[in-house]
Amino acid sequence: MRLLNRLNQFQRLWSPSQGQIQQVTVAELATRCYCSERHIRTLLRQLTDAGWLSWQASSGRGKRGTLTFLATPQEVRASMMESVLNKGQQQNALELAQLAPEQLRQALQPFLGGHWQNDTPTLRIPYYRPLDALTPGFLPGRAEQHLASQVFAGLTRFDDSHSQPQPDLAHHWTISADGLCWQFVIRSTLFWHNGEKVTTDQLRRRLQQLLTQPAMGRLFASVKKIDIPHPWTLRFLLHRPDRWLAHRLASYCSGLAHPDDPQTGCGPWRITRFGASLVRLEAHDRYHLQHPFLAAIEYWITPQLFDRELGTSCRHPVQIAIGQPEELVHLRPVSNSISLGFCYMAIRQNSALSVSQAKWLMALIHHSDILNTLPLNESLITPSASLLPGWPVPEMEDVEPVPLPETLTLLYHLPVELHIMAQQLRLHLERYGCRLEVLFHPAKTWEGCQRLAQADIVMGDRLIGESAEYTLEQWLRSDTLWPHLLTGSRYAHLQATLDAVQSLHGETSRCESLASVFSALMEDAILTPLFNYRYQISAPPGVNGIMLNARGWFDFNRAWLPPPEIP
């Protein structure tokens, strides 16, 4: 890149004196820049015309001239980055910012947050790690789940202003009296991000592709057949009634990509770049619902130092700073909440722990100082007293202490807070004569983990999206944890119970029945929540419409910037 090369040459001229006036020969300058004397004279003329320096040559070969600097390399870099960003050349900006992570964050500071670039309202978000590809189906990270919900649309969708799923790609739907036939009438004005018109057959093909995934197959186990009785109608024929079907189709994992291109959707935002350093979304001009005010969203990824053993989850990213996180005086908290998602501990049935020992261990967790004294930022987590509001952890004060086994095995996965929790629990159990072997699964889910069947205790993170009760039903349906955690008969009984719950007409009845299922899991010392996260978003003045959603992010469609002031 010519711009970067010119910046590097300027840096070589500037470095020996750190910007002080230099008395130097043309030959010495050519040596610094690894070029000929003829080329260095051309370069000096170009940099003088750019206003970066001035060069006063002395007459006579080998005489020293005067080199005066009018700008620093940092100022030159910032000016060049602003210029290429105004032209929409994000890749050139990234190449100009080829710095170590800490220096990169400093170089990017002036360009983060909300900006009108070339008359385009753009929001730039600094992020601490590269984003994983948006593969169809379930995704492990909150950021990826949120991004998928912005890029892909489903037949139905969740809406903060309604308690029930709302129409999305489907204009409306009908349900037969016996609950075995659902017909979704598809909008006739849908377009993919590539400009191609959406057909009902493409949506059916993508749904069938999703259902071949084991976890998605378990989620939609009641579906017998998906067909097209009319060119604009998708029909779901079920083995048994499933009153959660509209919820399942509204979840991010059911967002529909083009059947031949998993990165092309028809949601409000289309991916124009997806790299390790920059992810750029642009508004979909032919989106079928309300269009966003912003024209572009960019994730500027500046990796932070992390523990190589624990991976990039060096700190659970519950606090999103839009703009300049190091300059907190310019940011203001605009939204905060306690997450409904939670980190949990589960005890495998038929493990080394008896039921009485498992109950005492869970009582120890909740009635000792372990959760309240974790060496974590106090604004990061809060100990859990309930699984969901109104689903309290059973009272355990009267549980009698019992001796624990001499050794136990604990298996846990990310986030890193569970690493700290595991070490604290290991030290705590040593006081009771129990040696805890701690094993780490370096991922955010249990998919592909070969050691679940051998662990006595597991700890993980349960993300909660919209419709919290349904999300927990989805967890029981799809997560590979449960077949390993429960005995065969208990797991079969659980699935049969979920089949019965999903057939109930009223959502209140379904939620109450589901609460009973989880209450039994907690009463039997199979599951207990540990702590919730405190979500917070901070934004600079002028970035409006920021409101936390269930995943700790914000709806990109609602964010907006005021027009730039007219001079």
**Residue spans per domain, the chain:** 2-77, 153-254, 334-534
Number of H helices, E strands in the chain: 16, 23
CATH fold for the domain made of 334-534: Dipeptide-binding Protein; domain 3 (3.10.105)
- The answer to which of 309-313, 321-325, 370-374 has the lowest mean pLDDT is 309-313
Q: How far apart are CA 203 and CA 258, in angstroms?
A: 8
- Taking only the tens place, the pLDDT of each residue in 272-297 is 999 888 899 999 999 999 999 999 99
Is the model's pLDDT at 233 over the cut of 90? yes
In terms of C-beta distances under 8 Å and separation of at least 24 residues, what long-range contacts does 272-277 make, across chains too? 273/90, 273/91, 274/131, 274/133, 274/134, 276/130, 276/301, 277/94, 277/130, 277/301
> Which pLDDT band, with edges at 50, 70 and 90, does 327 fall under?
very low
Which of 97-106, 184-193, 386-395, 543-552 is the most confident on average?
A: 184-193
**Rg for the chain, CA atoms, rounded:** 29
Q: Which amino acid makes up residue 440? A: F
- The answer to which of 196-205, 450-459, 549-558 has the lowest mean pLDDT is 549-558
Closest CA to 135 of 199, 44, 215, 53: 215
Q: Residue 35: helix, strand or coil by DSSP?
A: coil
- Taking only the tens place, the pLDDT of each residue in 345-378 is 999 999 999 999 999 999 999 888 888 878 766 6
**pLDDT for position 542:** 75
Q: How far apart are CA 39 and CA 60, in angstroms?
A: 18
- Taking only the tens place, the pLDDT of each residue in 447-469 is 989 999 889 999 999 999 889 99
| Arithmetic mean of pLDDT, 512-516 | 97
Whether 334-534 and 153-254 are alike in CATH topology: the answer is no
Kindly report the CATH number that applies to the domain delimited by 153-254. 3.90.76.10
**pLDDT for position 315:** 45
What is the bridge-based pairing of β-strands 527-539 and 319-321? Answer: parallel
| Arithmetic mean of pLDDT, 303-329 | 48
How many Å separate Cα 332 from the centre of its chain?
22
Q: Residue 126: helix, strand or coil by DSSP?
A: strand
**Cβ-count burial 310-342 (b if 16+ within 10 Å, e if not):** ebbbbbbbbbbbbbbbeeeeebeebbebebbbb
> Which pLDDT band, with edges at 50, 70 and 90, does 116 fall under?
confident
Q: How far apart are CA 505 and CA 177, in angstroms?
A: 11
**pLDDT for position 93:** 66
- The answer to which of 22-36, 195-209, 218-232, 479-493 has the lowest mean pLDDT is 22-36
Is the model's pLDDT at 98 over the cut of 70? no
| Arithmetic mean of pLDDT, 228-256 | 97
Q: Tokens 């590809």, residue?
A: 133
Is the model's pLDDT at 96 over the cut of 70? no
Q: Take residue 284 and report the two structure tokens written for it.
A: 């979909």
- Taking only the tens place, the pLDDT of each residue in 119-141 is 789 888 878 788 999 999 999 98
Is the model's pLDDT at 102 over the cut of 50? no
Q: How far apart are CA 366 and CA 345, in angstroms?
A: 11
Q: How far apart are CA 431 and CA 266, in angstroms?
A: 57
Q: How far apart are CA 259 and CA 257, in angstroms?
A: 6
The answer to whether domain 2-77 has CATH 1.10.10.10 is yes
Q: Residue 560: helix, strand or coil by DSSP?
A: strand
Q: Tokens 């992810």, residue?
A: 279
Classify 74 in phi/psi space as left (phi over 0), alpha (psi -120 to 50) or beta: alpha
DSSP 445-489: S-TT-S-GGG-SEEEEEE---SSHHHHHHHHHHH-THHHHHS-HH
Mean pLDDT of the chain: 87
Classify 323 in phi/psi space as left (phi over 0), alpha (psi -120 to 50) or beta: left
- Taking only the tens place, the pLDDT of each residue in 423-454 is 999 999 999 999 999 999 999 999 989 999 88
Residues 6 or more apart in contact with residue 297 via CB below 8 angstroms: 122, 123, 125, 150, 269, 280, 281, 556
The C-alpha angle with vertex 97 and arms to 93 and 99, in degrees rounded to 5, equals: 165
Percent of the chain with pLDDT over 70: 87
Is residue 438 classed exposed, middle or buried when 0-12, 13-18 and 19+ CB atoms within 10 A define those classes? middle
Whether the CB-CB separation of 184 and 266 falls below 8 Å is answered with no
Whether the CB-CB separation of 104 and 86 falls below 8 Å is answered with no
Closest CA to 235 of 314, 181, 278, 315: 181
- The answer to which of 32-36, 248-252, 304-308, 518-522 has the lowest mean pLDDT is 304-308
Whether the CB-CB separation of 283 and 292 falls below 8 Å is answered with yes
**pLDDT for position 224:** 98
- Taking only the tens place, the pLDDT of each residue in 152-189 is 999 999 998 888 999 999 999 999 999 999 999 999 99
Q: Is the pLDDT higher at 354 or at 544?
A: 354
pTM for this prediction: 0.81
Q: How far apart are CA 256 and CA 169, in angstroms?
A: 9
Q: How far apart are CA 489 and CA 519, in angstroms?
A: 18
Peptide bond into 415 cis (omega under 30): yes
| Arithmetic mean of pLDDT, 229-236 | 97
Q: Which residues on adjacent β-strands are paired with residue 238?
A: 223
